[in-house]
Amino acid sequence: MADIINEDGLKIPQHIAIILDGNGRWAKKRMLPRNAGHVQGARNVSNVCRAAYNMGVKYITMYAFSTENWKRPDSEVKALMSLLDKYLRECMKTCKKDNMVLKVIGDRSGLSESLQKQIKEVEDYSAAHTGLILTIAINYGSRDEICRAVNHILSDVKEGKLSSDTLVTEDLISSYLDTGGTPDPDLMIRTSGEQRLSNYLMWQLAYAELYFTDVFWPDFDKKDLEEAIRYYNTKERRFGGLK
């Protein structure tokens, strides 16, 4: 997908993936409980999405809760699940106001029935909208996603939905991933200073530009987003070829 060139001559990535990191440290710095940081981080999602869409970004994918996050203390996990449920409920109004589409990726079978129901309700409600497409990764891990995709392919072969001599290609695997039908991210942003993917979109980020900032997610704003996009503009994306 081609980049959009804005009025300042900047190339605007069509799809940005973000690892929302630093909520707990943001709270600790202010001598607040960790959950206060998660609450503030959730509030920031709409602000960043709106700023990105106004710049011309079409897709944003955010890492909200990983398959590894279950290892955190039960109290924090429960608070995060409650916060996600609350965010999804409030997102109905946001989707309507901003003409936004909401999708969720990850293994839903590990989530409560009420949260699964809320996810489906918001997805169905926003599906016909034509604005920004926001994808939230909940109970998501890239290795888990790839394993589920491969098992789905094997199941479809067994059931006759795919021929037994079907050639496994990149396109086939991509179509079975949670993100099937969505273009791969052009730019990945990770906040809070950590410089790793943490099992996030490892297949999809194969050729994305990676941007790391020390800013904690609750403080990440339009100015920081513009800085990330300016960094993106310093890169010549050749995808292994030459220009």
149 within domain boundaries = no
pTM recorded for the entire structure: 0.93
17 within domain boundaries = yes
Read off the pLDDT band of 149 (50, 70, 90).
Answer: very high
Catalogue the active-site residues.
21, 69
Domain tally for the chain?
1
96 within domain boundaries = yes
Mean pLDDT of 11-27: 95
170 within domain boundaries = no
Mean pLDDT of 192-213: 97
CA 86 to the chain's CA centroid: 18
pLDDT tens-place string over residues 23-61: 999 999 999 999 999 999 999 999 999 999 999 999 999
240 within domain boundaries = no
128 within domain boundaries = yes
158 within domain boundaries = no
Q: Among 64, 59, 46, 48, which residue's Cα sits nearest to residue 225?
A: 48
What is the extent of the structural domain holding 62? 10-141+184-233
CATH code of 19's domain: 3.40.1180.10
3 within domain boundaries = no
Give the CA distances from residue 216 to residues 17, 56, 76, 219, 224, in Å, rounded to whole numbers and listed in that order. Answer: 16, 24, 19, 6, 11
CA dihedral 79, 81, 82, 87 (to 10 degrees): 120
Cα angle: 115, vertex 119, 120; to 5 degrees: 120
Mean pLDDT of 119-140: 97
